[in-house]
Amino acid sequence: MGDYDVVIRGGTIFDGGGGQRIVADVGVRDGRVVAIESGLPEGNRTIDATGKWVIPGMIDVHTHYDAEVLTGPGLGESARHGVTSVIFGNCSLSTVYADAQDCADMFARVEALPWDVVNDAVKEHKTWTDPKSYVQAIGAQPLGVNVAAFLGHSDIRVAVMGLGRAVDANERPTDAELDRMAEMLGEALDAGFVGLSTIRSSFSKLEGTRFPARQLPSTYATWAEYARLNSVLRQHGRVHQSTPNLTSRLEIGRYFAQSVGRLFGRRPLKTSLLSAADIKADRTVVNAALGAAWVANRLGRADLRWQHLPVPFEVYADGIDLVIFEEFGSGAAALNIRQVLERGELLKDEGYRRRFRKDLAKKFGPRVWHRDLGDAEIMACPDATVVGRSFAAVAADRGITAADALLDLTVEHGAALRWRTTIANDRDAVLDRLQTSPLVQIGFADSGAHLRNMAFYNASLRMLERVHRRGFMPLEQAVHRLTGELAEWYGLDAGRLAVGARADIAVIDPTGFDGTADYAEAELSGSGVSRMVNRNDRAVAATVVGGHVVYEYGTFAPGFGTTLHAGTFLTA
């Protein structure tokens, strides 16, 4: 038996801090890196990394694995792409305090997760009563990657006020209730949570039978309520993550004002917002976002970052089941109806269609979706004659509007109609600028959510491929942005490849970067629910978590997600 549990032999090593790359061996023992030098002896397990990159495991800071970690704690879609640490509890949603039904109502629609999957996962597995016992319960799972968590504002608001009052615009928490929410947040930060997540987006709707179509509880809070909770975050030096209402520039300014620090004689509040995106519908948004953040950080001494998805923002829809339809009245009205036959009757109604056509044709006003049905490709349909074509092309053949073509096909085929469009990040030059900006944080993969709409589990890997292909920044800087920079900002023991560091490592095979990712359907953690994934099993030679080799070229280690305890709960 060798002196090392694992030796990674002869790879090009990147330290995650932006330092110069070197060629050497890496020796791992007891879950830590204990040697980085050439000529190490064989380990109990040796990985040949000749010609490959050996980097710290990548960090995914924006996921919604809160329910999946209970039923499939391996979180294999992340591990397979070289991600070794994830953060969940984003967008005001966590499962720390709220009961199973409340969690399902809050997660299902906004994150496009099956209500039953969330409800059953929390109902069956919840043994915790507070943040400390939550950390213990999740940490005891056979984790395949490391996890960290935000506490969700909607979660604590519902636990304190009840769901009905928490989503009533005429209700406000009492002083005692606000004190309790601040106390809950303090307990979570003491237990090692990275911060608080909130949401203001008008897209965020409840599912379920009790208060369907109302927005998430966090959106009903006043800025005084946010300020009270932010004061707790400041005291602990932790992070406020949020999804603003991007249609209101004034409201976004409130986040900037909350983040401002030394100008007002106080500690800056770390603030991470969604999102820096080159939106097709409004090309001015990205410059405005970066400019405002520069002013806030430089002149106001704020500590604010825009999260950024580092790849084209391509989304898929089954019929009209897609969150972008939430942004206009007729689209939201259709999504409010969950029964297939009832929704079909609405979509056939001519009065409804007039409203839908009018909404799609609007040229002005804030929006995320470009609403150009000529820029929407039909991927699958029982009517094979429309596959590979846009709705506009189908409409031209049929002598109808593109909006009517979409509605006709949805009524006829329902969820069997599958189509896609790219709503943002389609220009390489702009992506290059965003990914090198210090105002931008690489994140917003939304891993674990929107199971039928998008699959960005491999977003970090695809950014490395972009840098390798285009050379718009040094590879050392790109690795730093995906690892050490994020770990340092969130305060996590991750993102470094150095003697003494946790042995969380990705071995990347650049010969596997061929500009493709294979679309596939995969089952969600034994639930019987199918989700879309994009995979390139040629680019990740190995993923090492806590000194365990958990994945190699498309194959997981024995016991992954069941008996192998590789990951841990990372506390800030």
- Rounded-to-integer distance, Cα 331 and Cα 432, Å: 33
The reported pLDDT for the residue numbered 264 is 67
The reported pLDDT for the residue numbered 185 is 98
pTM (predicted TM-score): 0.95
Ranges of residues in the chain whose predicted pLDDT is under 50: 1
E strand or H helix that includes residue 360: helix 350-361
The reported pLDDT for the residue numbered 2 is 61
- Count, residues in the chain: 572
Residue 220 makes CB contacts below 8 A (sequence gap 6+) with: 157, 166, 167, 168, 169, 171
- Rounded-to-integer distance, Cα 304 and Cα 276, Å: 12
C-alpha dihedral over 482, 484, 525, 559, to 10 degrees? 130
Residue 245 makes CB contacts below 8 A (sequence gap 6+) with: 200, 201, 202, 219, 251, 252
User: How many beta carbons lie within 10 A of that of residue 560, not counting itself?
Assistant: 21
- Rounded-to-integer distance, Cα 2 and Cα 331, Å: 62
The reported pLDDT for the residue numbered 1 is 44
- Percentages helix, strand, coil for the chain, rounded to the nearest 5? 35, 20, 40
User: How many beta carbons lie within 10 A of that of residue 525, not counting itself?
Assistant: 22
On the 0-12 / 13-18 / 19+ scale of CB atoms within 10 A, 45 is middle
User: How many beta carbons lie within 10 A of that of residue 393, not counting itself?
Assistant: 18
User: What Rg value do the Cα atoms of the chain yield, rounded?
Assistant: 23
Exposure pattern of 296-333 as b/e (b: 16+ CB <10 Å)?
bbeebbbbbbbbbbbbebbbbbbbbbbbbbbbbebbbb
Residue showing tokens 């943040």: 131
Which pair of tokens denotes residue 117? Answer: 């999957």
Report which residue type is found at 198. Answer: T
Query: How would you classify the pairing of strands 6-13 and 530-535?
Result: unpaired
